[in-house]
Amino acid sequence: MKSNGNYDWKFSTVGGVTRVNIESGQDILHLDELDRKLWTALSCPLKNLEIDEKTMTMLDTNGDGKIHIEEVVAASKWLTSVINDPELLLKREAFIPFTAFNTANEEGAHLLETSKQILENLGLEKDNISIADVSDSIAIFAKTRFNGDGIITENSADDEAVKALIKNVIDCMGGVTDRSGDPGIDTNKIEAFYQALADYTAWKEAGDADKDNIFPYGDDTAAALAACMAVKDKIDDFFMRCKLASFNTDSASVLDVSSAKIGEISGNNLAASTDEIATYPLARVNADHKLPLGNEVNPAWAGAVATLKTLVLDKEFKKIEYLTEEQWVSVLAKFNAYNAWMAAKAGAAVEGLGYDNAKNILAENKKDALLDLVAQDKALESKSNAIDQVDKLLHYYRDFYTLLTNFVTFSDFYSPEKKAIFQAGTLYIDERACDLCVKVSDMGAQGTMAPLSNMYILYCDCTCKSKPGTMNIAAVVTDGDVGAIMVGKHAVFYDRDGLGWNATVTKIIENPISIRQAFWSPYRKMARSVEDMINKRAAEKDAKVMADANAKINNAEIPADGSKPAEIKPPFDIAKFAGIFAAIGLAIGLVASAIGGLFEWLGLHWYHWIIMFLAIIVIISGPSMVMAWLKLRKRNLAPVLNANGWALNQRILVNTKFGATLTGIAKYPIVKTKDPFTTKTPLWKKILWWFIFIVVILGVIYLVWPDRSIAIVKWLMWWR
């Protein structure tokens, strides 16, 4: 059949649906001619699939997290243009022989040249290149000066002075990681470094030009300002307290530290109470508004005040013993120019080099030498990008056909010897192995879509000690019976790498598993109902018996000597039991006689019993089996995959025959040895089974010889 072109496509029926065949290199070469309506999938997610996620990310050219038909077609066109034989893609190999490159194609020839260069850098001599060869970019570029990423390292320079300069840039501006794995610098770092040098030296020179104004205390100006800032808040607080005391003379005692407050800590080690003492006022409030600078200062602040006095006050005011607010304000004003200069600081990133080194680096002006090294590195950008292209080619070469057999067709899913990329592993539970297990990314979507699949699905939470977090899977049971499967049941899940996970069933979507299960389903439900009824009646009977027993015990007369009252046992009456059996036999005989009379009146024969028995079975099990058959033939995996982010274009049917291959049932050989722990059948059960057997025989005799059966019943009545 031809579709959107002249290529003659081949089709086959797979999984109950007609699908196009992708089984040759020519099919891949003409993939762009295949009608989109004939693709099994329209898109699929990148994650939670058993295919290299790096390959899928490379295919996702628009970055939306999904692979679309357009991206698959584009990949096929590029891939088949750079290799000379598309049949090689069917091998799914992780290496490409050099003979496979299409050197007639410019890009193919360039990829071959790059592949050889990679092997040369790695010190390898062979005629093919593999994914493992290009997986370690650090190893590829470890021995090269330039690698095309626009980043230079110390190894990029031959001149020792330039090497030292690159190190300075990294230390001041921070580095960027080169493809070799070493820290390096790029154009932006170089420009920022030299701009910082220019700004820093200009700022320093501006300070030197107005040195007398900016540095009132010379080289000690920074230390003097620090001494002022250390006590500024406490000094300002002291002068405000003095002003408030003058404003309200009655508040002086409140504004000052009280003896009672000191008394609260007097019992402590006062040397260890410095933090508490530091919260007290700097000095005693006084009417003169003067801060004493001697022993009257709060001892917790005495050292800071002494430093202030040495670095600043003694230089401004000779032999000063008290500080006024006016003097304090004048001292702070001395630092205005310095503060403004510091606020205008620029190029702080290179300050660690020192002014002299910064000035020398600017004077040497090796900026152009650094930029030239970057230019030399960037000149190899095309080769560097070609390495990425080789990596891309290798991933496509290995994984592209796998994607096609799980995207264009689902042939991997329907092939017994392969597994689809969405099959995550095998769940072992209840004597079966479920191979159709899918990782679940959205349980909410599964709850909406999965019931439409008509499949019996177990949702499990899986944990593994060697891997963090929890993995959710949906395991489809496609053969066998429900058995003892229930929510909360523990199981073991093995992923495709063979790693074991502890699994717990958290949710079950119930649907028929097989016709056999559907046949017995009504009887199991009936048996459960009868069992529940018996248990209920037994519980009620037990409660009644206990109540009667308690009543009898409470009402019983205890003999005077304290002994237990004698139990009265009824005598065993064998005739009574014989009469019971005879009555049962008579009842069965009468019922059989009535049914026989009905059959005789209707003109029916004994074999009609068998027909009637089979009809009853059909009436009971028939509807369940028909419903199961209807659902089993519509069992469709597509809703489960749709809930995982797939956009499927066709049904993914799982019929009974195919389902039997997806769920393995435990099979045991015939064991001839005797179980030593087998419980022996009690006598009463044997008697009961013999009784049932005799009743059945009597029924058969009645059907065949009605007169003799009546005589047997009369004999039983006489024997009673």
CA distances (Å), 29 to each of 76, 121, 420, in order?
Answer: 7, 34, 23
Q: What is the pLDDT of residue 715?
A: 57
Token pair 């003095």 is found at 242
What tokens appear for 554 in the block?
A: 């409470």
Q: What is the pLDDT of residue 125?
A: 92
Determine the 3-state secondary structure of 566 from DSSP: coil
Q: What is the pLDDT of residues 121-130, one digit of tens each?
A: 888 899 999 9
Tell whether the torsion through CA atoms of 454, 455, 456 and 459 is positive or negative: negative
The lowest-confidence range among 97-111, 650-664, 700-714 is 700-714
Q: What is the pLDDT of residue 609?
A: 57
Give the C-alpha separation, 328 to 324, whole Å: 6
Q: Which of residues 2 and 82 earns the better pLDDT score?
A: 82
What tokens appear for 616 in the block?
A: 């009853």
DSSP codes of every residue in 32-74:
GGS-GGG-SEEEEESSSSSS-HHHHHHH-TT-SSEEEHHHHHH
Total Cβ atoms within 10 A of residue 418: 14
Give the C-alpha separation, 108 to 670, whole Å: 63
Q: Interhelix angle for 336-343 vs 221-247, to 10°?
A: 120
Determine the 3-state secondary structure of 427 from DSSP: strand
8 Å CB contact between 214 and 336: no
- Tell me the average pLDDT across 354-370: 91
Q: What is the pLDDT of residue 588?
A: 53
Name the pairing type of β-strands 128-130 and 95-97: antiparallel
Query: Is 507's pLDDT higher than 90?
Result: yes
Q: Which of residues 705 and 232 earns the better pLDDT score?
A: 232
Amino acid code (one letter) for 198: A
8 Å CB contact between 698 and 589: yes
Q: What is the pLDDT of residue 498?
A: 93
Alpha helices in 174-321 (DSSP H): 187-209, 211-214, 221-247, 252-255, 259-265, 274-278, 302-308, 314-316
Amino acid code (one letter) for 486: M
Q: What is the pLDDT of residue 9?
A: 93
Q: What is the pLDDT of residue 511?
A: 84
Q: What is the pLDDT of residues 409-440, one digit of tens each?
A: 999 999 988 999 999 999 999 999 999 999 99
% of the chain with per-residue pLDDT over 90 = 48
Give the C-alpha separation, 413 to 14, whole Å: 10
Q: What is the pLDDT of residue 574?
A: 46
Q: Which of residues 703 and 503 earns the better pLDDT score?
A: 503
Q: What is the pLDDT of residues 148-185, one digit of tens each?
A: 788 999 888 888 999 999 999 999 999 998 877 789 99
| Residue 499 backbone class (left: φ over 0; alpha: ψ -120 to 50; beta: rest) | beta
Give the DSSP letter of residue 319: T
Phi, psi torsion values for 642, nearest 5 degrees: -60, -40
Token pair 């523990």 is found at 490
Query: Is 647's pLDDT higher than 80?
Result: yes
8 Å CB contact between 280 and 264: no
By C-alpha distance, which of 360, 342, 421, 379 is closest to 156? 379
Query: Is 668's pLDDT higher than 90?
Result: no
Query: Is 576's pLDDT higher than 80?
Result: no
Q: What is the pLDDT of residues 305-342, one digit of tens each?
A: 999 999 999 898 888 899 999 999 999 999 999 999 99
Q: What is the pLDDT of residues 17-55, one digit of tens each?
A: 899 999 999 999 999 999 999 999 999 999 999 999 999
By C-alpha distance, which of 322, 290, 326, 325 is closest to 309? 322
8 Å CB contact between 241 and 255: yes
Q: Given pLDDT bands bounded at 50, 70 and 90, which one contains residue 591?
A: low
Domain segments of the chain as ranges: 11-139+380-404, 154-211+350-378, 217-256+276-334, 425-511+635-665
Phi, psi torsion values for 20, nearest 5 degrees: -75, 150
What tokens appear for 108 in the block?
A: 């193919």
Give the C-alpha separation, 25 to 4, whole Å: 18
Tell whether the torsion through CA atoms of 352, 354, 355 and 359 is positive or negative: negative
8 Å CB contact between 458 and 432: no
Non-local CB neighbours of 160 within 8 Å, separated by 6+ positions: none
Q: What is the pLDDT of residue 20?
A: 93
Q: What is the pLDDT of residue 272?
A: 82
CA angle 660, 666, 670 (to 5 degrees): 120
Query: Is 572's pLDDT higher than 50?
Result: no
Q: What is the pLDDT of residues 511-524, one digit of tens each?
A: 887 666 656 566 66
Q: What is the pLDDT of residue 3?
A: 63
Q: What is the pLDDT of residue 57?
A: 95
% of the chain with per-residue pLDDT over 70 = 81
Non-local CB neighbours of 231 within 8 Å, separated by 6+ positions: 282, 301, 304, 305, 308
The lowest-confidence range among 277-291, 364-378, 590-604, 649-663 is 590-604
8 Å CB contact between 438 and 426: no
8 Å CB contact between 218 and 212: no
Q: What is the pLDDT of residues 245-257, one digit of tens each?
A: 888 887 877 888 8
Q: What is the pLDDT of residue 541?
A: 77
Non-local CB neighbours of 178 within 8 Å, separated by 6+ positions: 141, 147, 149, 151, 152, 153, 184
Q: What is the pLDDT of residue 560?
A: 54
Q: What is the pLDDT of residue 260?
A: 77
By C-alpha distance, which of 221, 503, 202 is closest to 355? 202
Give the C-alpha separation, 371 to 194, whole Å: 12
8 Å CB contact between 423 and 435: yes
Highest mean pLDDT out of 140-149, 292-301, 638-647:
638-647
Q: Which of residues 286 and 5 earns the better pLDDT score?
A: 286
User: Exposed, middle or buried by CB within 10 Å (0-12, 13-18, 19+), for 519?
Assistant: middle
Query: Is 616's pLDDT higher than 70?
Result: no
By C-alpha distance, which of 110, 79, 80, 115 is closest to 97? 115
Q: What is the pLDDT of residues 182-230, one digit of tens each?
A: 899 999 999 999 999 999 999 999 888 888 899 999 989 999 999 999 9
Q: Given pLDDT bands bounded at 50, 70 and 90, which one contains residue 700?
A: low
Phi, psi torsion values for 451, nearest 5 degrees: -60, -20
CA distances (Å), 406 to each of 67, 500, 568, in order?
Answer: 12, 25, 82
CA 208 to chain centre: 61
Rounded to the nearest integer, the mean pLDDT of the chain is: 84
